[in-house]
Structures are given as structure tokens and as C-alpha cells.
Structure 1
Amino acid sequence: MADAVVVSGTVTSGDGPDMRLETGKMAGLASGSVVARMGDTQVLVAATGARHVREGIDFFPLTVDVEERSYAAGKIPGSFFRREGRSSDHATLTCRLIDRPLRPSFPDGFRNEVHVVVTVQSADQKNPYDVLAINAASAALMISDVPFDGPIGAVRLAYTTDGEWLPHPTYAEGDESSFEIVVAGRQLDNGDIAVMMVEAGGTATQWMNGENGAPKVDEAALAEALKESEQYIKEAIALQNRLVEAVGGRKPVMDFVAQVDYTDEQMAAVTELGEARMVEVMSMADKAERGAAEGALKTEVLETLLPRFADGNPIAEKQLKAAFRSLSKAVVRRRIVNDGARIDGRGPSELRPLSAEVGVLPRVHGSGLFQRGETQVLNVTTLGMGRMDQMIDGIDPLERKKYMHHYNFPPFSTGETGFMRGPKRREIGHGLLAERALVPVIPSQEDWPYTLRLVSDVLTSNGSTSMASVCGSSLSLMDAGVPIKAPVAGIAMGLVYAEGKYTTLTDILGAEDAFGDMDFKVAGTSEFVTALQLDTKIDGIPADVLADALNQAKEARLAILAVMNEAISAPRAEVTEYAPKIISFEIPIDKIGEVIGPKGKVINAIQAETGANISVDDDGMVGIVSIASPDKTIVDEAERQIKLILDPPTADVGQTYPGKVVNITKFGAFVNILPGRDGLLHISKIGGGKRINKVEDVLELGQSVDVVVEDIDPNGKVSLRMAGDAACEKVQERAERA
């Protein structure tokens, strides 16, 4: 086995663990492999590059896979085959988290397949692995022969209740904080850090921390976080450079042929023929009209130029199409930078027309329809009992989720055909972004005993459907009567960088997203930010430019919230008649057995009698009873019966009670006479003086009988006898027939 090369260094402030990078011991046939460790959390990252370009490929095929091994957390998978299955949502999100800062760092024209595989080998349930994996992936590429303009450094910061940004927080520190932000960037020649990627969101305690006096996470605090991240990104980059030096420097870059999408001559011909009309096309506000006009122009350009370039060139049509797309991009960008003119005629900070509506579906628990320009999203809220929460069979400490957000992007939303075979990574990522944006305002389990599932269905798409999902979610939650702490709105910002000038755009269209240099999504309430996501296609963006974009985004967010407020200004006072009515209350932990009964006898009987749905859980300290039914009177009756079990009424000696046989033994029958109170009707007390051989000969389960309390011993055990001569005679007749 080869000797390992190891470097380690401090990437945190205070007592946090060092980051350790090792190579040479594992996965030796990969182009580059690194084992990274913080605390007892360890990942293996292997990066490989294909030697040749796959025929016909016109994009850079980078694939990032994250393999969460159950053994890393000392677990056996809970699936039927006891083997890891599809990736968890967290693993999928981590794939995107790694991909986004790496992708812009490969050279233009490089089309060889690159595969980065992250295997989580050890998870200490204390230190998260995702940011560690970003740094390890960059390090693996740095020591490989894949052309990579790195390194990329990454850090997670948590905003503490003291208003400090804590680097590389543990899970517990993150949960206690108000906000977490992951920033990845590269170091420029002048030593500055250019931000490549941001992923951030508020925690479940963000609102409560603010009420307790903690500083709010506003635009100024986030600008401070971006500035604070720079020193830790530099430390991560320095550690990777030390690893490169320790292995003797970077390997010679693999031989590859840079793919040229089109020739200069082809580009010039397309520009000469189509530029003037392209300016007209890219001034059409309507997406469908613009698409049709652009398609017609492309057909005309191809028909005119193809005979000129097709001779001996089998890919001439493909090249001309690529040149035409470049012309579209150039026209859009030039008009924005030079003229301040956008495709639909808006100014840089202007929003598209907005509309918001609630109660659009008749039988659902809550619904909201939000539209911004040609982007339209329908969001539906469904309420369920606590036991309908999602169980997480993963390696992270999180085991259950009471709030889930699912995002669907059908092909018809863009006017196209396609296959619908389950959520893709993008849909999972957008759903989790919308979920993160709303987490800080979702009521706690103690305040709201429901499980929440939100579904965002994109109906039309022309830019920023994820942020429209956030707006629609707030509407549907309030329509469902969920007592959210404040409505949340989201907006997508764009940026075009040309000729040394940054132009920031509010509420970007799909084409502006495709042709621009940045997609910057910001969600929040009127007072603070709840989620943030940044992707860039250029070599990073200065922190001060992002800070200005944050302030521009706030203006848009406030305008959107005003429109939403006109549709519904506060959560409805009650849930809809079609939603379950749920109450939850605590019981002493030693009373759980009495409420459930042997083999669930008691709780099943209450459910059968009332029709309510009842669950009993415990948190180690107290029991928690949840009762649900569409009918509030049923909930109240089930609650009454359970509370009678907890504090049962006292039976009186000599008193006659109507009872029900609940258990039969050899020596008699147990009869329930009051909620939570059973008594023993001994076999000798059944026959009215006559001998009974078997209790079953005269009594059966569920039979109603009148009994008299004969005695109550010091331990509270109740002895019964049959009530009245008539009752005894009926029993005797049955015994004789038996």
C-alpha cells in the first residue's frame, strides 16, 4: 500500500476541529483522490476524467454523485433489502452544492466527461460533511490531470444569537443559530475572493431568537457574512495548495481537444444576416410570440447559410445553430449593458405584473395561485396528523420532518413535451430551497400539531419558478389556517458583466437567466431574509456587488408582499371543514400504558367508538396524545374519554352501573363500568347462586350487563356482582341452554 500524503490546518476560529486532507492511500486509480476529515466525519472524493469526448456532445458533462454509506453512522439501511437505495434529499442537495462552484472553473471548450464521486465513510453526527466535500472535491481535481482552474474553497457560517458569524458550526450549533450560509469562492490574483456560490437559509429557531433579542438577519448581516467568509475560504484554498505542493505539484494536464461550437466565419455570417432582426425579436415581451419569431428567424438563417457551409462539413447545421444562439445571447446582453433595455422593455429594477389569489381549489386544505409575468405557480397545503411526518433513514441526526415541500416542473409549463418519471435533481433542489425559505415562519410542533405537506406545481415558466413557489406557499399556508409568523416572498436577481461593468437585474426572465452571468435568489419577510441562493457562470462576483443586489432584492420583495397582502393579509382563523381537526396535549409518561391498554385495547376501543384518529408518542419526558378527525365533536369526545382514563371517576360501593364485558378469564369477567375503570365479576357472582362451569357459557366479549359495585379494596380493585334478579335470571337461562 502506498504511503499517504497528509496535510492539515485550522479552518475555524476557536476550538473547532482542523481540516485534514490525505491522498495516496485510497482510490489510487482515480485521476485524483482525496480523503478529507473534520472531527470524525470523513469523506473520500475520487475525480476522474474521460480521455475522449463523447460524439455529438455540445455541453460540459460534469457529474457529481454523493454516496451516503449507512455504515458511516453505524446503521444498517432500513429498506427491505437492507441496502442503500436512491439518494436522500440531503445527498442530492450536496451534489448540487458541489457542482455549482466547480462547473465554472473548467476551461471553455472542454467537453470530456468528468465524474466526481463523494463517498461518506464516517459521520460523527456532529460535523456536517457537505462543505468538507466541496473542499475535498476541489482538492481531488487539483491533484488530477483534469484541466481545472482551482482551487475552490468553501465555508459554512452560522449566525449566533450574539450576532457573530461562527465558521464550520456543528449540527447543534447550527440548530441553535438563527441562520446558516455556505459560501464558496476562488482567490483572484490580487488576493481577493470572488464568490462562486451561496446557499443559505434560516433555521427553525430564527424567529424565536429574534423575539428573544437576537440580531435579525437582514441585508447588512448577510453582507457581513460574505465579507467574513473570505478569510475561511482563503484558509481552505491554502490547505489545498499545500496538498498540491506535498505531492510534488500539479500533474500535466490531460490531452484534450477544445471543442469549437462554430467558426469565426460562420459567426460573422450569422451576425450579418440576422443581427438587425434579432434586436427586434429580443424586444418582444411575450415569450410564445418571441419564441415563434426567433424560430422563424433561425429557420431563415439556416436555409440561407447552410448551402454555403455544408459542403464537406457534416456538422454545419449544428454549428450554425450554435452561432445563432450566441447571437441571441450577445444581443440580449448588449442591450442590457449599453441601453439599459431588457427583453420585455422593463428597467433593471422593475418587476413584472403580479397577481395573487387564494382558495382556488374547492376541496383541498389550502391553495394559492401566484403569478409574476408569465411565471405561474399553484401551491397546495395539506394538513395531516403528526404520525404522517417523514421518517428520514439517513446518516444525519435528523430523523423526522413535520414540514415537507415538493416542487413539480412538468414539461407543459414551458410549452414542450417530455417524460415525467419522478423528480429530478433540479426539482428536488428547488423544493428544498422553497422549504428552507419558509422554515423560520412555520409554527413549532408544540404550537401547531399538524404535519404539513406543500406541493408547488409550476403551470407556466418564464423565470424564477422557485421564488414564485415561495410566494404561492405563503398564500396557501395562510389559506389553510396555518398560523405562520409572517408571510414570505422571494425574488430572483440576475447580473450581466461586460466591459468592466456590472448590471443587476430584478425579476429575471428565463432568457435573462440563460444569457446572464448570475442567478441570485433571495427570500424573506418584510424584516429579514430567510433563504438565499447564488449561482454564477463567471469567475466569481465581488462581495460589494452582491451586497448591492441584496438591497435591490429587498425593494422587490416588499412590493411582492404588498400584492400578496391584498389577496390574504393573515392566516384564516380556522382550518377548512375538509381538513382534520387536531388537538395535542401532554400526559404523564407513566400513564401511556393505561391510555393504550394491553395490545392497544383501550385506544383501539376509543377509536372504534368515536371514529377519531389517535396517536400516542413520548419525548422521553412526557407522553404526547394527538387526536384528529374532520368533526370537532368527535375530537372533543375522544379527548374526554382519554382524560377520564387519566383521572378516572370514582366508583361507589353499592351503586349499579351499566357495563360492558371487556375481558374473560377462567375465574370471571372484567367489566368496564366507567371510563378507565374496570371491575372483576367473579364466576361465583354470575350464576345467581347456581354453579357456572365456564364464563363463556353465559357471557361474551362486548356484552352489556348491569352490575353492582360490591367492594373496592385499598389498591382500588373493584369487585362486582350481577345487578337485580332479572339479570341473574337471564344469565341462568343462558347457562341452562348452554
Structure 2
Amino acid sequence: MADPINVSGPVSGADKTLTFETGKLAQQSQGAVVASIGRTVVLATANAAKNVREGMDFFPLTVDVEERMYAAGRIPGSFFRREGRPSDAAILNCRLIDRPLRPSFPDGFRNETQVVITVMGADGENPQDVLGINAASAALMLSGIPFDGPIGAVRIAYTQDGAWIPHPTYQEGDESTFELVVAGRRTEAGEIAIMMVEAGGTEKAWSYYESGAPKVTEEVLAGGLDACKAWIGEAIDLQIELVKQAGAREPMTWTPVLDYAPEVFEKVSELGSGPLAEAGTIAVKAERNEATDAAIAALLEQLAAEGAPFEGRTKEVKEAARSLQKQLIRSRVVNDGIRIDGRGPADLRPVSAEVGVLPTAHGSGLFQRGETQVLNATTLGMPKMDQLLDTLAPENKKRYMHHYNMPPHANGETGRVGSPKRREIGHGLLAERALLPVVPSIEEFAYALRLVSEVLASNGSTSMASVCASSLSLMDAGVPIKAPVAGIAMGLIFADGKYTTLTDILGAEDAFGDMDFKVAGTSEFVTALQLDTKIDGLPAEVLTQALQQAREARMTILDVMAKTIADPRPEVGETAPKIISFEIPIDKIGEVIGPKGKVINAIQQETGADISVDDDGMVGRVSIGSVDGTAVEEAKRQIQLILNPPTADVGAVYQGRVVNITKFGAFVNILPGRDGLLHISKMGGGKRIDRVEDVLELGDVIEVRVDDVDPGGKVSLSPVNPLVDGGGEGGDS
């Protein structure tokens, strides 16, 4: 076995070490690196096909994250006891790694490329996602695959004291108010250029703010994005050292695939500039697409039809037309300050909001911004309806869930519907994270919450529209969120040395621009952030302007939402379950549930309420739910009687029910939570009884008298009337 090459470096400001190793594992892979921090270990492999598949008109990069449960010393919980489809967390990790890697490959490189991250060690303290970005970059650097790296990445957490700490543990992250994941590369000038940001507030952020922790404002975020550059530089330096010691493979031979020849673009520009520029001024998406298609069809007829200058080169003409349209739209924005739909750079499209759209849903909100329309529905359930998680992270359940659906008809197209794709999962989790800091805790609101965003029409930033629709839906459902949250998508065009920041970008502006920048938050602080940029370096003043522009738009949207519904409804709707939750001593759980669930099942059958009992190892928690509020109160009353049972009076007569039969007698329930023993010797009124079952059955109702209550609370009973013919009076014989 070959000797591995190992490089390590300390993480400044933290008692941690980042390590890269190559040469020992996966020796057949073109590039393979084992990265570790703490006892969390990932193996990253990078491989590319030698040739381009015929007809490939895009860069086929695939990033897969394989979570192996043995990494955490666990057996998978599935029926087959092996890993199946990737978890939502793994899919989000795939997207997190893909986003900074994809723009780092050269234009025209179309060889199929695959990066696989296998999580081989999970210590329950150090997350593996950022480690995977650094390992993937290092593997590509060694592979010989054309890659403009290295890419460095770091997660930083904003503490309750107002400091940014690098590579926080899970616990440190939970104890912070905000987390940023940032990836970047070093430019020729030696500066760190930020390429990707994924960030969000923590679940307990609001409670920390109430305790005096500084809020995460736009200014704080700008400081965090600047602070992270030092740690990104450390990860880059360590990868450079690894390549220096191990040596990279010979660069692979590849042929750039050109979308069109220069002469094709020249002719398309000559003939198509007018029609395509005119099409780019049409505000309505469907009409603009029609005009664009008509202009391209005319170009194809002129240039690619039989006998035309570029006969049979239809694909080249189409791609050249698309590039020309991109140039024309960008030039109009930068030089004239006019966007596709006629807006100025900082203008917001018309915004509208409604609630109570769906009569049977527990809560619903409809949000529309321009041609983007999202309907969100909230469903409230018992706490036991939370989602069980079978991942490598410490969390094993989630009570607040957001799911995002975008069917083809949202773009006026046909296509596959059904199980969600990676994009839908990613957008759903982004919107979920944006609301997380304002969702009440289970102690404040004892419900599981599932939100579903249905994208009904799409023309720019459906994920941020989902954030707005979610806030409306939650408030309509009577969920006491801490504050409404709104989101907005920003864009950037860099041309002719000028940066132009765009508010509320259209789908085309996203495709033709240089940055996609989504910001969500309340009126006071930011709750989520996502940034992807295609250019090297983002000046601090440009980022500051973008954040400020986003805040202005967010405040406008929050005002529109407040006019529709300013605060959560005072109580849940009539179709929603009424749920209450309270703590009980952990040693009382058995009494509430009863033998084989008899007690809790009896209460559920009698009241019609749904009851669940859980514990955290320290205290028990009972949750009671029903659409009928009186059923909830009755179930609570009965459980409280079990917890604090009434005292039986000696000599008193009670009508009881037989709840258990033993060889020596029967236990009779005489009061809620209070059973007494009717001994076999007392049942016959002086006559001998061989078997209790000869005179009593479970569920029988009998009158009994309390003979004695000992100091331990045990109750001794006798029948008021003998249970056999010919017996004397009840009582001791």
C-alpha cells in the first residue's frame, strides 16, 4: 500500500485542525482526497470522461454526497437496513458543493465530470458539508481535470457576544444567532473573491435576541463576509501545499466545444439585433418569449435553411441568437438603466397578498410579485407528526417542515410531475430556513407544522415568494410567529467596468446576469441569505449597496403583507385541531399510559381526543389534540386526575370498574387514577371462591366499599353485595 501524503493546518481563532490526505484511498480515481476536521472524515473523488458525448450542449457535472451510516456508528433505519435515496440534507449538501465548483470549469469543457463525497466519519460535533467543498476542490486540483481552483470554504457562526467564529460545532451553531457558509477563490491580484454564500438564522435566534444578543443586520452580514476571507485563504493555502507535495496528474487532453463559430455570431448580430432588441423590451413573459421565438425562427430561415449561408447549422444559429440577446439586454440595463420590463434597477414589481384562500386548509396565503405567484398552505398536527430524520447530524426529528412544488405549468410548459427534484428540495429548504427563527417553540405552540408552497406562475425568485406566502399562511393559521418574514431576489450586471444592482430580478435577468442574491428577513434583522456570483470579486461597496437595496424592497413587501394581515390570528381555525401540551413527572408516564396502553386508549375512546406522551429523559410531555375543544379539555381533566388522584374515603361506597384480575383478587378503579384491591377472600361473603374469573370479568361494574387506606395509599375494598348466591353481607368474613 502506498504511503499517503498528508498536510495539516490550524484554523486560526479556533482549536481545530484541517487535514488533507491523498495516495492511500481510492488510488484508481483521477483525483482522491481524504479531508478531516476533528473526527469527521470525508473522501472526495473527482473523475472526468475522456471524450465528449455526442450532442452534449451543456457541462454535465454531477456532485453526489453519500452519507454512510457507519460513519456515526449506526445501522440505517430502513426496511432493508441499508442506505437508500439521499436525504434532504445530503441533497442540500450536493447543491452546496456544486454551486462554487460549476463556474470554475473552463468555457467549452463538456466532458462528463463526477464528484463523489463519501462521508466516512461523523463525530456528531463537526459538520461535514463545508469539509466536502474543500475536499472536492482538492481532489479536482490533483486530478488533471481542467479546473480553475482551488476553492476554499468555511462556515462561520455569529455568537451571542457579537463575534464570528470559524468552523463551529453543531452545539456552537445552535448557541449562535446566525450561520454563514461561504466559498471563494483567490484572484490573480491575491484577493479572495466570494463565489457562493448560504446562510440562515438559528432556531433559537429570537430568544437570544430577546436576551440581548446583537441582531444580524445587513451591516453585520457585510462584516461576516469580509471576515470569512481569512479562513477561506487558509483552506486554499492548504490545498496548494497538498498539490505541491503530492503533484497533480498530467492535465487531461480535451477539446473545447464551441456553441457557434465567430462568423455565425457576426451574421446573427447583423440580421437579428433589431428584432431581438425589440423582443427584449416586452414586459409580459409569454409575449416576450413568443417574439423571441419569432425572431429566432426568422434567423433560422435566413441563415440555416436549405441554400442559406449556414445550411444545417441550426443549433449554432440558435445559440448565437441567445448570446446576442444576452448582450443586448445587459447593455440596455447598464447603459440606459432600463430593464426588460421597463423598470429601473431598484424598482419592485407590483405586489399583492391574500389570506384565507383555501377554505378547508388550516391556513393559506397567496402572494404575487409581478408574474410570479405562489400559494402556500399550512397544516397543523399533533407533535407526534413531526418528521423523523435518519441522517448523520445529531438532530433526529423536525417539527417545522416546508415543501416546495413547481410543476411545469408554472412556466406554461409540459413535463414530468411527481417526486421533487434537487432544485425543489433546495428551494423548499431555503424558504424553511428563512422562517425558522420566528417559528414559536413547541413549549409555546404544541403543534407540528407542515407548509407547502405551490408555485402557480414563475418569472423570477419563486423561493422568496414562497417565504412571503409562508408568512401569510402561518399568520392565517393562527401560528404565533414572532414577526412576519419577507424575501427578495437581487441581481447584478457587470459590464464596461460598471456594476448595476437589480432589485426583484426576472427569470431572464437571473439567466443573463452575473449574480443571484436572495435575502429574507423581518423588519429588524436578516433571517436567510443565498448568493451565487459568476464574476471574480465583489467589491464591498457593491455588496453593501445590494444589501441596502434588498432591505428597502423587503420593507415595501412587508408593508403590503401587513395591510392584508398584520398579526397572527388569535386562535387556530375551526378546521384545525385544538392542541394543548403540558409537562408531567417522568415517573407518571406509566400511569398515564397504563398497562399495554389501556388507560390512555380508554381516555381517547371516551373523549375522542388524540393523546401522545413523550419524554426527553428528564421530563414527560403530554399533548392532547382534537378539532373539538371540549374533548381536549375533558381529556386533560382526566389526565390531571391521574396525576393528582382524589383520595378515597374509608367507609365510602363507590361504583367501580374491574381493570385487572390476578390470582389473589381483582383491582377495581373507583376514582380517576385510583384503584383498590378486592381480595378473593372477600368476594363470596363467607363462601369460598377458587378462581376470581368465576365471579368477575374485566370491565365488570360493581359497587365496593373502602375498608382501609394504608399509609402508602393502597386501598383495600370489599363488595357491597356478595358476588355469589348464598353469601352473607359483604365485608371481611
TM-score (norm 2): 0.97
- 1:587/1:622 contact within 8 Å kept: yes
Q: Aligned pair 1:6/2:16, yes or no?
A: no
Q: Which residue of structure 2 aligns with residue 366 of structure 1?
A: 363
CA distance in 2 between counterparts of 1:389 and 1:164 reads 33
- 1:195/1:542 contact within 8 Å kept: no
CA distance in 2 between counterparts of 1:220 and 1:308 reads 60
TM superposition shift of 1:616: 1.2
TM superposition shift of 1:570: 0.2
Q: Which residue, 452, 455, 459 being the options, matches 1:458?
A: 455
Q: Which residue, 515, 520, 525 being the options, matches 1:518?
A: 515
TM superposition shift of 1:308: 6.3
Q: Which residue of structure 1 aligns with residue 103 of structure 2?
A: 104
TM superposition shift of 1:72: 0.4
- 1:105/1:539 contact within 8 Å kept: no
- 2:438/2:481 contact within 8 Å kept: yes
Q: Deviations over 1:327-370 (max 9, x none)?
A: 22111111111111111100100000000000000011100000
Partner SS, residue 143 of structure 1: helix
Q: Which residue, 328, 331, 334 being the options, matches 2:331?
A: 334
Partner SS, residue 261 of structure 1: coil
CA distance in 2 between counterparts of 1:95 and 1:611 reads 45
TM superposition shift of 1:617: 1.2
TM superposition shift of 1:731: 10
Give the partner amino acid of 1:479. Answer: D
Q: Which residue of structure 2 aligns with residue 274 of structure 1?
A: 272
Give the partner amino acid of 1:9. Answer: G
Q: Which residue of structure 1 aligns with residue 285 of structure 2?
A: 287
Give the partner amino acid of 2:257. Answer: Q
Q: Deviations over 1:471-523 (max 9, x none)?
A: 00000000011110000000000011111111110000011011111110000
TM superposition shift of 1:294: 1.4
Give the partner amino acid of 2:173. Answer: G
Q: Which residue, 376, 395, 406 being the options, matches 2:392?
A: 395
Q: Aligned pair 1:167/2:166, yes or no?
A: yes
Query: CA 1:600/1:274 → structure 2, altered by over 3 Å: closer, same or farther?
Result: same
Q: Which residue of structure 2 aligns with residue 182 of structure 1?
A: 181
TM superposition shift of 1:540: 4.0
TM superposition shift of 1:191: 1.3
Partner SS, residue 56 of structure 1: coil
Partner SS, residue 708 of structure 1: strand
Partner SS, residue 174 of structure 1: helix
Partner SS, residue 166 of structure 1: strand
Q: Which residue of structure 1 aligns with residue 295 of structure 2?
A: 297
Q: Deviations over 1:567-626 (max 9, x none)?
A: 100000000111111111111111111111122221111112111111111112211111
Pairwise mapping of residues 162-311 of structure 1 onto structure 2 (< 5 A)? 162-248=161-247, 250-307=248-305
- 1:31/1:46 contact within 8 Å kept: yes
Q: Which residue of structure 1 aligns with residue 489 of structure 2?
A: 492
TM superposition shift of 1:431: 0.6
TM superposition shift of 1:730: 8.2
Q: Deviations over 1:273-320 (max 9, x none)?
A: 221111211111111111111112221221221136778965x11111
Q: Which residue of structure 2 aligns with residue 119 of structure 1?
A: 118
Pairwise mapping of residues 294-693 of structure 1 onto structure 2 (< 5 A)? 294-307=292-305, 314=312, 316-693=313-690
TM superposition shift of 1:28: 1.1
Of 543-552 and 212-221, deviating more is 543-552
- 2:92/2:426 contact within 8 Å kept: yes
Runs of 5+ unmatched residues, structure 2 = 729-733
CA distance in 2 between counterparts of 1:264 and 1:188 reads 29
Of 295-304 and 497-506, deviating more is 295-304
Partner SS, residue 238 of structure 1: helix
Q: Which residue of structure 1 aligns with residue 76 of structure 2?
A: 77
Q: Deviations over 1:632-662 (max 9, x none)?
A: 1111111111111111101111111111111
Q: Which residue of structure 2 aligns with residue 24 of structure 1?
A: 23
- 2:304/2:310 contact within 8 Å kept: no
Root-mean-square deviation (Å): 1.6
- 1:710/1:721 contact within 8 Å kept: yes
Give the partner amino acid of 1:588. Answer: P
- Aligned-pair identity in percent equals 68
CA distance in 2 between counterparts of 1:695 and 1:28 reads 75
Partner SS, residue 487 of structure 1: coil
Give the partner amino acid of 1:160. Answer: T
- 1:226/1:543 contact within 8 Å kept: no
- 2:14/2:165 contact within 8 Å kept: no
Partner SS, residue 179 of structure 2: strand
CA distance in 1 between counterparts of 2:543 and 2:726 reads 87
CA distance in 2 between counterparts of 1:293 and 1:312 reads 23
CA distance in 2 between counterparts of 1:695 and 1:18 reads 71
Q: Deviations over 1:362-399 (max 9, x none)?
A: 01110000000000000111111111111111111111
CA distance in 2 between counterparts of 1:65 and 1:527 reads 38
- 1:310/1:317 contact within 8 Å kept: no
Query: CA 1:356/1:731 → structure 2, altered by over 3 Å: closer, same or farther?
Result: farther
CA distance in 2 between counterparts of 1:81 and 1:447 reads 38
Give the partner amino acid of 1:5. Answer: I
- 1:66/1:94 contact within 8 Å kept: yes
CA distance in 2 between counterparts of 1:614 and 1:58 reads 57
- 2:695/2:723 contact within 8 Å kept: no
Query: CA 1:325/1:312 → structure 2, altered by over 3 Å: closer, same or farther?
Result: closer
Aligned structure 1 segments of 4 or more residues deviating by more than 4 angstroms: 308-314, 727-733
Q: Which residue of structure 2 aligns with residue 736 of structure 1?
A: none
TM superposition shift of 1:208: 1.3
TM superposition shift of 1:728: 5.2
CA distance in 2 between counterparts of 1:707 and 1:500 reads 95
Give the partner amino acid of 2:229. Answer: E
- 1:179/1:203 contact within 8 Å kept: yes
Q: Which residue of structure 1 aligns with residue 731 of structure 2?
A: none
Give the partner amino acid of 1:258. Answer: P
- 1:698/1:731 contact within 8 Å kept: no
Runs of 5+ unmatched residues, structure 1 = 734-738
CA distance in 2 between counterparts of 1:659 and 1:173 reads 55
Give the partner amino acid of 1:281. Answer: A
- 1:110/1:256 contact within 8 Å kept: yes
Q: Which residue of structure 2 aligns with residue 703 of structure 1?
A: 700
Partner SS, residue 82 of structure 1: coil
Q: Deviations over 1:230-278 (max 9, x none)?
A: 1111111111111111123x43321111001111121122222221111
Give the partner amino acid of 2:273. Answer: E
Partner SS, residue 639 of structure 2: helix
CA distance in 2 between counterparts of 1:577 and 1:421 reads 31
Give the partner amino acid of 1:352. Answer: R
Query: CA 1:732/1:270 → structure 2, altered by over 3 Å: closer, same or farther?
Result: farther
Give the partner amino acid of 1:434. Answer: A
The number of residue pairs the alignment matches comes to 728
Query: CA 1:309/1:72 → structure 2, altered by over 3 Å: closer, same or farther?
Result: farther
Query: CA 1:213/1:692 → structure 2, altered by over 3 Å: closer, same or farther?
Result: same
Give the partner amino acid of 1:13. Answer: G
Give the partner amino acid of 1:28. Answer: Q
Q: Deviations over 1:198-257 (max 9, x none)?
A: 000000121111111111100000000011011111111111111111123x43321111
Q: Which residue of structure 2 aligns with residue 40 of structure 1?
A: 39
Q: Which residue of structure 2 aligns with residue 148 of structure 1?
A: 147
Query: CA 1:658/1:220 → structure 2, altered by over 3 Å: closer, same or farther?
Result: same
